[in-house]
Amino acid sequence: MKEDKLQKYIESLIPPRQGILAEMETYADEHRVPIMEATGIETMLQILRMKQAETILEVGTAIGYSALRMAFALPKSKIVTIERDKERFSKAKEYIQRAEKEDQITTVFGDALEVVDQAGSLGPFDVLFIDAAKGQYQRFFELYSAFLKPGGIVVTDNVLFKGLVATQDSPTKRIQNLVKKIDHFNHWLTNHPDYDTVILPVGDGVAISVKRGEENE
């Protein structure tokens, strides 16, 4: 949704990142690492601040950009983050070390579909952030929401997939298939009896789901 004028305007108001974060953005750009878009991440960080999140589980570390953004925005929080790509994982470890955030961020190497017990044992979590393979969103949600506290929040990135979920004009069969899966996930999520969900048209589309607790059932 980059072409959107309002989105561009809002983006222009976001102060540029400095130091290691700016460096990571350049690296991501040059190596085609799909880090979260500026308006999307600012929205997520603001919600996390309002929540005063103390424990966060991220599915999809990539090079550790969003994990570090969360760590800086919420200095008292603990973050667990999962990545299956070796090269990205080691890059993430390198950046986290350079930022001196190893005490705050625990990195887990492996396929999120397989390291559930390991990552889950580090919970329970106030926030679950899903930002990995789009075709698996429902699986990630089902597996990891078990470790979410009542009243906890699930943030899911890329749920509007460059607007393709609304326009249905995918360039390839593979993308069309992915669009179908995301569309299916969005319907499933917004009708989930245990969660209240809103989809925000920021970044690449961000879903915010709040787990019902005893007090809001």
Confirm if 17 and 99 have CB atoms less than 8 A apart: no
How many other β-carbons are positioned within 10 Å of the β-carbon of residue 216?
Answer: 10
Binding residue count for Mg ion, defined by CB under 5 A: 3
Q: How far is the CB of 157 from Mg ion (least distance, A)?
A: 4
Is the CB of 34 or the CB of 213 nearer to Mg ion? 34
Tokens standing for 153? 């929040």
Assign 3-class secondary structure to 52-81: CCCEEEEECCCCCHHHHHHHHHCCCCEEEE
- According to the binding rule CB under 5 A, does residue 157 interact with Mg ion? yes
Task: Residue 60: name its binding partner from ligand SAH, Mg ion, none (Cβ under 5 to 8 Å by kind).
Answer: ligand SAH
Full 3-state SS string of 132-149 = CCHHHHHHHHHHHHHHEE
Which partner, ligand SAH, Mg ion, none, binds residue 37 by CB below 5 to 8 Å per kind?
A: none
Site for Mg ion in 126-155 (CB under 5 A): 131
Nearer to ligand SAH, 2 or 169 (CB): 2
Q: Which is nearer to ligand SAH, 39 or 66 (CB)?
A: 66
Smallest distance from the beta carbon of 34 to Mg ion, in angstroms?
Answer: 6
59 vs 210: CA distance, rounded Å? 17
Cis amide leading into 124 (omega within 30): yes
Q: Quick one: which of 107, 158, 186, 209 contacts Mg ion (CB under 5 A)? A: 158
| Chain residues that interact with ligand SAH, rule: CB under 6 A | 34-36, 60, 62, 65-66, 82-85, 88, 111-113, 131-133, 136
* Residue closer to ligand SAH, measured from CB, 33 or 166: 33
* Residue closer to ligand SAH, measured from CB, 87 or 196: 87
User: Where do the H-state alpha helices sit in the chain?
Assistant: 5-13, 19-30, 38-51, 65-73, 86-98, 116-120, 137-144, 164-167, 173-190
Contact residues for Mg ion (CB under 5 A)? Answer: 131, 157-158
